[in-house]
Every structure is written in structure tokens, then in C-alpha cells.
Amino acid sequence: VSSLAKFIASPECRSIAILTGAGVSVAAGIPDFRSPGGMYDTLRPELITATAAQRRAMAADPTAVVLKDMFFANAFPYLEVRRPFILGTRERRWRATLSHRFAELLHAKTGKLTRLYTQNIDGLDYQTALPTEKIVAVHGSIGKVACEGCGAPMEFDAFCAEVRARIKDLYGVDSAAPAESTPIPCPACHRPLVKPTTVLFGSSLPAEFFERSVEDLPSVDLLLVAGTSLVVSPANSLVYRVPDSAVRAVINAEPVGQELGIRYSPGGRDLFLRGECDDTFLALMVQLGWADDLARLDAELPAASQKRLRALLAAGVGDDDFTTV
């Protein structure tokens, strides 16, 4: 961590790109759709507003809920399954973690953040003070809404009000929810195709990903890869599209990316920092002298991130304790 902090602070490091995955949001308590006990594992198609054929498709493969063809035929499976996540995002039920705050402080303190590429749809990066143009949501975001048909945007709060009033609750947690779902029309084209901008299976990634990566990567000096298995394409292409001179640092529970050309060897360009993303980013921010800035963000952190930070501060660690950079 110390050597990485020194490189970030050095004049040799001028441009930093970050690629994040689900690991950076673990401390926020974001529900995992795919793991045992998650929404897909507990899906009950018989409760969803759908035809018999559509229910059979979802029973055979729960990811049918997020298929493009399914959504255009019937928007209710997506909206009903995602209802608690959509409304929870509006209520800020989940908060940006220490890992998200690293990108925020990196930009504010050094000006070296060229772009944050996130594979997560949770929208937590937008809770930080990062300018939105610094963030590329590779797979879209639950916190932004547009029509899948005509592309017209819809204000998120207005969309959430429609979801609350028109989409039924499959999970029995909202007594005010309607008994039956009714369509949410697009304000522009009037078709019932408005949804968060999360990318449906069968749809193309946002053009912004391709445009920004072509613009950003040739000048990157450091690529930080955090909390991702690096198995999803084309997001994982960032690893081999940065210059040969760029340092690649992977923060993860286990080494990843070897099949993409990452080589973890002493003295090489590729670094591996094993552990939880929040723990590693906290250590990195302390090494960079940002502990006092983090203390001011304490009230905005989720409980798991607060616990880590408060333990550190209780130990008497502050910016004056670190002179490594």
C-alpha cells in the first residue's frame, strides 16, 4: 500500500483510471441478485404480472427478468422485481462506501482522476462529490432513468413516484403498494418502456463507455482495478488497453486477470493488494494523508465503513501520523 501511495503522489503519475466491480459496494449492504438467497434465487414467477409462457421462462432462468425481449414484451417483471432496489436507491437506503470515497478524494486532492469506470448499477458513485462526467457507468445505473424505446430521459424522483403508485410489491414490505401493476408511460413517446438505465441482456453498452475509453486509456499512468473478477467483457478490456508503461494495481480478495495478461511478479508493473476493498482503500487514503478528510465524511458512510474508520480514528491515527508521501 505504501509504495502505491507514493506512486500516486509522485509527479510520474499524472493520469489515473479506476475500474470497479461489486466488491466496492459490499460494505453498503447492497443486495446481491445472483448469490444464494438473492433476488434471482428467491424469485417466484407465479407472483409476477406475466403470461404463463413468460413465467415459465423466468422459472427456467431467472435472468429472463432482465432480457431486452422480455422487457419490450412486458415491463412488469423487471419493474416488480427491481421495485425495492429502485425505491431504496431513492431513499438512500444504501450509502457510498470508503471505496467510493477514495475516488472522490483522489479527484479533490490530486486532480489526477481521469475517469472512474464502474460495472455496478447501484449508483453509489453519484452520491459522492465526483463530477458526473468523471463517472462512466459501464452497465448503466439504477439511479438514472430513460425510455428504452425513444431514449428520452425521465427525472428519477418522478419515476420513483410512479413506481410507488403503479407497481405492486412482490415482497410484502410496502402496505401502500397497489394490488396490481399498471403501466408507466414514457412522457415523450407514451410507450410503457421507461426504466432505470441498467443495461438489459441483449442490449448494447452505453456509447459513452467506448468513447471515453478510447479517449482516456492511451495516457493512463495507473489503472486501479477494485472488487471485480475481470471476467465480464468488454469492461475487462481496460486492463490490456492501457499503455505498457502503466502500473496496474488490483485490489481484490484473490488474484484475477492473469488470462488478460496481468503478471504478478516482484518488480513488475502489476501489483496485487489482497483484501476487502474498504480495508485497502482506507489504508491507502491514510497513507496519502487523507484521514482528516475521511473523518468529515463519517456521518455519510454506511455502518460497515463507519466501523472501519472509527476504529482507525480511535487508535489516534490522523494525517500527521503518516509522512510516507
* DSSP string for residues in 197-256: SPPPBTSPPPHHHHHHHHHHGGG-SEEEEES--S-STTGGGHHHHS-TTSEEEEEESS--
Q: CA 32 to CA 142: how far, in whole Å?
A: 14
Catalytic residue among 100, 107, 139, 190: 139
Is the bond preceding 131 in cis, omega lying within 30 degrees of 0?
A: no
Residue with cell string 396490481 = 180
Asked if residues 124 and 102 have their Cβ atoms less than 8 Å apart, the reply is: no
Q: 142 φ, ψ to 5°?
A: -70, -20
Give the list of residues 6+ apart from residue 118 with CB closer than 8 angstroms, or none: 19, 20, 24, 125, 135, 136, 137, 138
Cβ atoms of 230 and 257 within 8 Å: the answer is yes
Spatial contact of 28 and 40, defined as CB atoms under 8 Å apart: no
**HSE value, Cβ hemisphere, 13 Å, CA-based, for 41:** 8
Is residue 139 annotated as a catalytic residue, yes or no? yes
Active site (catalytic) residues: 139
